[in-house]
Every structure is written in C-alpha cells, then in structure tokens.
Structure 1
C-alpha cells in the first residue's frame, strides 16, 4: 500500500466531495435516538486528512448522528469558508429563512437518507416540494438509499427542478455485474443531465473487500460515460461501516484507476465540484 506521498499528485484545487464530522460532543451533542459514534471526528482531524493527501476543497455532509442540528457541519465549513461547503439534513418544511441562513454559511444542498438504519424517510412528494424552494438558491438534492431506491424513486426524481446527486454509486452490489438492474437504473438516470453521482463508497458496495477491485468497474463506467457529472469523496470517517474501516491511502489510490487521464481527474476532482458547489 503506497504512502500518501507516493500516490499520484492530485490536480490543484482537488475536492474531497463527501465526508462528515462528528462532534465534538461537548460542543455539538448527538441527536437523541440517533447512532452515537464511538469517537468524535472533529473538523481538525478532517482538515489534517485533506491536507495530507492534497485536497484543498471539501464538502462536509451532515451526519445522521447530529440529526437536523447542522451546527457541527457549519462549524467545519466556517473554519475554511473559501474551500469548504456543506450539505444539510433538514425537514421538508424547513422555513425559507433557515435556508437563506444556511446558504450564507456555505451550504449548497440537502441530503435525504432512505437507508433503513438511518431513520425517518421523507415522502418523495415532500422532497420535491422542498426542491422547488431550493431552486432559487442554486442548491441540489442528495439522495442516499439502497439499490432498489433507484427504480422506486427514479421516475419521481426526474421531476426535480434542481440537480439530484446519487450517493455511493447508488449502493449497488459490486458482485452482481454491470448488467444488474440497479446499475442499469442508475445509468438510465445519469442519461438525464439533472443527475450526478458520487463514485464514492467502493468500500461499501464491495464483496471482495480491499483494495475494492470488484467495485472499480462501476466507477470507471460512470466516469467514462458521464465524466462531467461525477464526484469523488472518501466518506471519512466511514460511519455505520459493516466491514473493516477503509485505509485512506487505498481509497485515494483508486482515483487514478477510476479516472485514468489527467483530463478525467481534472473534471472529477476540480471542475465538476467547482460547478456544483460554487467554489471560488
């Protein structure tokens, strides 16, 4: 396994577009009834990780452990306001004034979780009603769910007035092949230019485990077919992980295999996040 210093250099302005912060719990208590991480994962640790690998930019996604209290994420974004952006967890009836406040604080979208272990699932019509209020802000929806979600909610999500980002390659099963229904559904959504996908979570969809070779073909196909709407993130600190916690160097090493040319890496790590999250 290569050390960080031995990995291919990242392009200037590279963005880690999916990670989280937890706590610290003495400042930002965990939500009642939510999973409580064994250890805090504060902004300083996230900054150190990004700096070690050369990710100047970062997108901090609100963790379910904090529920709708987005203060920990806002605090992480505020520490590096030019280069960090936030994705919120919010109820669908959030007031417009709160959306405006979060926009000024560097937030650019709202995530909706449809994984069973993450609690409440917002009805899709409520999500779309909120999306209409996100449009004037230039925000987007971020959708996280199991593979069946792509077929179940895909038709409704095509009505979204804002971009829709699909998390973690749609959580497909890496062992089921490129022709599996869930991946075909994801590819079908990606043919609609309102959809984006994060080629993150290879460690979550793998059957083989590290170095995640069985997950790589899906990321490669998405980068090849939809290179202007793909994003990469390492998902640090890997919440609710079923297998061994990934080694960060192994995840970063996948980038050059997903996106084998300098041009593809520039789009994946710089141009695409710059466009979606409005850096600069």
Structure 2
C-alpha cells in the first residue's frame, strides 16, 4: 500500500478485545483469541498507516470500556465508534466524545431495524448530530432501504459498512446495492471498502471488490469512500490477513490520487483527526 503524499493514512475499521471480557447475552460470535491494542498499533506501523478507527465489536454489546481504554492510550492516533443504548444520558455521550468516540454503530445483522421515529431515537440522533458524529450501519444491502431513510430524515451523517453487504449471488446487481448507489445524491452517506470476504468467496475478493469499488467511485467519488482492514477479521481469520487487506485496496483502485483521498483526506475529516499527530 503506497503511503499518501501527506504522510497520513487511516484504517477506518478494526476491533480490539481479549478473552475474559463480559460478553453480550445475544451475540453471533464468541472470540477464542485476543486482539490487543498493542498488536493493532504495531500493524499500523508495519503498514505505514498513521491512524486507526476502532469499532465496538457486537459481542461486547454496549460495554465500550475496553475500546475506550485503547483510545485513551493513543489519543492522537485512534478514534472510536461505540455501541450505545438509545436512552443513553447526554453526560455519557459527552464522556465517550472526550475519550475519542466520533460515532455510534447500529449492527443489525440478524436483528430488527429499530423504529427511528420514536422519541427516544430521535433524541439520540439529534445528540449524535450535535456532537458532529456519524451513524455507522451494518446490515445486508437488501435492508438498507429500511434504515437509511430514517437516518437521512434525521439529518445524520451515515457510514455504511463493508461495501453495503451486497448479496454474494447478485453482487453489484443486488437491488439493495443499487439502492446504496442512489443514496450518493444525499451527500450524507459514506461507504467503507472493507471485509470483502463477508460478501464474496475468498478467491473473488480482489475482482468482485474491484467491481463494487468502481461502481461506488462512479456514484460517490473518492471523497465519500474509505478503506478499512476489518482486523482481526473475526470469524474469517482463515481468509484474510492485514497484508491481504492492504493489497486488496491496491487491486480495487488504480489511481494514486483516488487512493490518497480514500486513505487520508476523507477519513481524516470524517473521524475528526484534524490537528492531531500520532
């Protein structure tokens, strides 16, 4: 992965955790290994990446404390995306912001879409907007029309995980992915180029990821696309590694200027890294 001319480059999607942490009662995965902040920072160093974004893993629920510890240990270098209850107190949100959190995540894989019209949700989204945060969503592309209109109506900035999770059998022809492409006109949606193995077979990660990336570049331009490693590739460690994640980006985007924008300009602004030095 060539380093951008600015000297900055951001990995916008990674997780840290260790065995023995309290796990959510409802979860799809139970980790059998540790993914430590020190290990992650070493990977950033080894691959010429100046900054990283930690995303609260779903199996830890709304207990963001382990992620917050990692953020506080590297405040100039890391930002976080938390998972919160809709009724979280304003002071608790401010405390998250003070630790380096810049967004909340709605991981809706296997879960119903919340009724964002309820007062509790409207209040939370207004507070998220007031903090300058974004809302990150993770769900199959077919369900994007169930969640994006409510978030956009609330004037949220929205980050869509993992190419929008198109159906592997349909790829870029998935009507949900086509819907995602049309949301570029809103000016309020960003998409992460990350975790292709969650959408396609391992052998197709480069080619299928490239095809999806090119469609997203046409719709969104590089200014609203970002790259993420998805380290430590939970449930898919046999299919991916940090080096392969960086190599995929090179396979997906040929133009060095577009790669620079995806790696630096866009995420540095969205994740509020301006003015910080690692």
**Fold-level similarity (TM above 0.5):** yes
- Distance (Å, rounded) in 2 between the aligned partners of 1:178 and 1:36: 31
Q: 1:225 aligned to 2:215?
A: no
Aligned partner (choices 1, 4, 13) of residue 8 of structure 2: 13
Contact conserved, 1:174 with 1:215, CA < 8 A, in 2? Answer: no
Q: In the TM superposition, what are the counterparts of 1:116-135 in structure 2 within 5 Å?
A: 116=110, 122-126=114-118, 127-135=121-129
Q: 1:22 aligned to 2:23?
A: no
Partner of 1:186: 180
Q: Per the alignment, do residues 179 and 33 of structure 1 end up closer, same or farther by CA in structure 2, a change over 3 Å counting?
A: closer
Contact conserved, 2:209 with 2:252, CA < 8 A, in 1? Answer: no
- Distance (Å, rounded) in 2 between the aligned partners of 1:141 and 1:177: 24
Structure 1 unaligned spans of 5+: 1-6
Contact conserved, 1:113 with 1:121, CA < 8 A, in 2? Answer: no
- Distance (Å, rounded) in 1 between the aligned partners of 2:78 and 2:53: 6
Q: 1:31 aligned to 2:15?
A: no
Q: Per the alignment, do residues 128 and 263 of structure 1 end up closer, same or farther by CA in structure 2, a change over 3 Å counting?
A: farther
Partner of 1:136: 130
Structure 2 unaligned spans of 5+: none
User: Following TM superposition, by how much is the alpha carbon of 1:239 offset from its aligned partner in structure 2, in angstroms?
Assistant: 1.9
Q: 1:259 aligned to 2:223?
A: no
Aligned partner (choices 213, 232, 235) of residue 237 of structure 1: 232
- Distance (Å, rounded) in 1 between the aligned partners of 2:212 and 2:160: 14
TM-score (norm 1): 0.88
SS in 2 for 1:125: coil
User: Following TM superposition, by how much is the alpha carbon of 1:186 offset from its aligned partner in structure 2, in angstroms?
Assistant: 0.6
- Distance (Å, rounded) in 1 between the aligned partners of 2:159 and 2:176: 16
Contact conserved, 1:147 with 1:182, CA < 8 A, in 2? Answer: yes
TM-score (norm 2): 0.89
Paired residue total: 269
Contact conserved, 2:206 with 2:251, CA < 8 A, in 1? Answer: no
Q: 1:106 aligned to 2:100?
A: yes
Q: Per the alignment, do residues 123 and 265 of structure 1 end up closer, same or farther by CA in structure 2, a change over 3 Å counting?
A: same
- Distance (Å, rounded) in 2 between the aligned partners of 1:147 and 1:162: 19
- Distance (Å, rounded) in 2 between the aligned partners of 1:153 and 1:211: 27
User: Following TM superposition, by how much is the alpha carbon of 1:175 offset from its aligned partner in structure 2, in angstroms?
Assistant: 4.0
C-alpha offsets along residues 119-160 of structure 1, whole Å, 9 cap, x if unaligned?
575433354441111111101100110122112223223213
User: Following TM superposition, by how much is the alpha carbon of 1:257 offset from its aligned partner in structure 2, in angstroms?
Assistant: 2.8
Aligned partner (choices 47, 50, 73) of residue 44 of structure 2: 50
C-alpha offsets along residues 96-139 of structure 1, whole Å, 9 cap, x if unaligned?
000001101100000011101xx575433354441111111101
Q: Per the alignment, do residues 210 and 38 of structure 1 end up closer, same or farther by CA in structure 2, a change over 3 Å counting?
A: farther
User: Following TM superposition, by how much is the alpha carbon of 1:89 offset from its aligned partner in structure 2, in angstroms?
Assistant: 0.3
User: Following TM superposition, by how much is the alpha carbon of 1:33 offset from its aligned partner in structure 2, in angstroms?
Assistant: 4.4
Aligned partner (choices 196, 200, 205) of residue 199 of structure 2: 205
Contact conserved, 2:19 with 2:32, CA < 8 A, in 1? Answer: no
RMSD over equivalenced CA pairs, Å: 2.0
Q: Per the alignment, do residues 195 and 107 of structure 1 end up closer, same or farther by CA in structure 2, a change over 3 Å counting?
A: same
Partner of 1:3: none
User: Following TM superposition, by how much is the alpha carbon of 1:10 offset from its aligned partner in structure 2, in angstroms?
Assistant: 4.8
Contact conserved, 2:3 with 2:9, CA < 8 A, in 1? Answer: no
